[in-house]
Chains A and B, each alone.
Chain A
Amino acid sequence: MEPITLALAKGRPAKSTIELLEKTGEHFVELHEDSRKLVFYNENKSIKVIFVKALDVPTYVEKGAADIGIVGKDNIMESQADVYELLDLNIGKCKFSVAGKPNHAIKNSRNITIATKYPNVAKKHFQKKGQVIETVKLNGSVELAPIIGLSDYIVDIVETGSTLKENGLVVLEDIENISTRLIVNKASFATKATEVQNFINQLQSAME
């Protein structure tokens, strides 16, 4: 059997997934907290794990550099990758929301500006509602934008809402629920059907 390549988003999703895999008896001996290695194998070399940046996981899987990826739905939506989305790992739960200043309901007449780390998600959401928006792509501290007048609203992931609250913003509209998902390359699903299916079953049984 050929090894399957698994792309994991660095950080929490990677840690939880490895824990799940360890539960099913797959051990990654080279892997430990302060390791800087980016490629790991399990003991019988049937699984190759690569660590990549979360937003890149869908790209690795879509292009076939990895057969399977485990990553947040937020990154799958933003990358618009053409992949299969087969399993919900029920971790990393949060949601995409539109937020802004209180008493500042979303106008649907004129152009509005949205600051976000996820311009594709924002555009798609407002397109569905038939509204034209302008997006400002930021890479962090998005909450700042409406406060200093860079944008009217923001689109961001909201977990507890405490960051919004501390910056005087409120959720105005929910877009979609998010959690960590398992995605599969469409070619691998066809050509490595057994290996992929076995891996999914293994993970599923560990989750129960």
Chain B
Amino acid sequence: MQRYVMDNNKNTNVKDFQIRDELINSLKNRFTTYGYKQVRTSTFESYDMYSNIIGTVNKDEMIKVIDSSGKVLVLRPDVTIPLNRMTTLNGLNEDNQRVFYVLDVFRQSNEQADQKESTQAGVECFGDQSAETDAEIIMMAIHTLKDLGFRNFKIEIGHAGFFKELIQQTNLTSNELDALQSLIHSKNLIEIEPFLTQLDIDENVRKAIQSIPMLYGNPEIVTEQAKSIIQNESMQSILQSLIDIYELIKAYGEENSVVLNLGLINNMNYYSGVIFQGFVDSVGKPVLMGGRYDHLSEQFGQPNPAIGFAFEVDLLIHALKQQGLTNNQSTVADIIIQYDKDVQIEALRSAYLLRDYGYQVLTYSTNSNKNSSNLGSKFTIEFSSETYLLHGQGTKQAFSNQEELMSLLQKEEL
């Protein structure tokens, strides 16, 4: 017989799920405080929708299924596109302008064949196109990372248009462009210079492209440095838009949580404005990514500017565990009740009442073989024929009826 040793899903035991659930609740609460409402999209999406929209998900990475009529469907490889379609086609109103989701996305790759699903928790804000909205979205990301207890994190802010503008002044082939992008992506200062020199590019543009990887760090310094490579008016306005966003983040008092990274290039080609990603200590991949994509909805026939971002939930869990930020709750329940068989009625009625008040209660008969003494709980209640006792942290009090028990518990909880 074949042995199924482990499934490939991470976080499948009970304790892991609690950590995950707590994390997701914390994200949801934060998103809600910014006025966002939760939505979901269908697990099955049309393959054609994803393959027709330029610059989205790699066709090979999508997991396809064929339905009974022969139509090709994919398991939701991303949430942004269906959400955008939903709001664009339903028409924008105050109800669907700000939405968030916690959903699984499905992709496959040869390199990581055992990781086909991951959970994303993200937000999208539709209809608004202002620096204020952009800054607020970035603030949500900062705020959430703070909620989770990360002490050392940074949001890198860049702009999808900055690099595109420079590239438009060259005539690189798509192969050359790929190579250039990967050099910029890895800030490879050593090879970028010889690579650019052998291409036929205007001297000024070449110098500008070459300096992009190191336009990184304190926004005030970087915007100063970037001014020297500005080639035209649209680059000027791009830079100004980043300065505006930074000033607003400063107004929130969170300027130390952000850096500019003009070498930031996102693989999702639909981004059109500010783009950003967040890093926490010791995790080499960004835990969140996002940006503005004003033109995606045009593919659904209507303009509908939008900005959003998503957390990689599995990566966040990994980071929380690594940095010891998870709540290692060792109790299995709030209260454990141990009772002798002859006072079972009192014990079970008390359990019923306590659960009614919202306590987590486990009950054990002292006659059963189960040893409950090594289970952790905040309180233990002992019902024996002689006496009823409430054990708290280092305290031990007798009671005779349910009213007394409740008042003792309330006092202990204070």
Chain A residues engaging chain B, CB cutoff 8 angstroms: 61-65, 82-88, 128, 181, 185-193
Contacts and interface: CB of A to CB of B under 8 A. Distances in A.
25 contacts: A61-B284, A62-B284, A63-B284, A64-B281, A64-B282, A64-B284, A82-B186, A85-B189, A85-B190, A87-B189, A88-B190, A181-B190, A185-B282, A185-B284, A186-B285, A187-B280, A187-B281, A187-B285, A188-B281, A188-B282, A190-B259, A191-B279, A192-B152, A192-B281, A193-B217
B281 to A, nearest CB: 5
Interface string B173-190: 001000000000011111
A83 B153 CA distance: 17
Interface in B268-298: 279-286
B187 A191 contact: no
Interface residues of B, number: 21
Given A190-B279, A191-B279, A193-B217, A86 B284 contact: no
Contact of B152 (A62, A128, A191): A191
A25 B156 CA distance: 33
B154 interface: yes
A191 B280 contact: yes
Contact of B186 (A63, A65, A83, A87): A83
Contacts of A188: 281-282
A187 B190 contact: no
A85 B191 CA distance: 10
B154 A85 contact: no
Given A64-B282, A83-B284, A186-B279, A191 B154 contact: yes
A94 to B, nearest CB: 15
A83 B283 CA distance: 11
Contact of A87 (B156, B190, B281, B283): B190
Contacts of B279: 186-187, 190-191
Nearest to B187: A84
Nearest to B322: A64
Contact of A82 (B154, B216, B280, B284): B284
B284 A193 contact: no
Given A84-B186, A84-B187, A187-B280, A193 B285 contact: no
A83 B185 CA distance: 9
A52 to B, nearest CB: 16
A25 to B, nearest CB: 26
B154 A190 contact: yes
Contacts of A82: 186, 284-285
Contact of B283 (A64, A86, A128, A189): A64
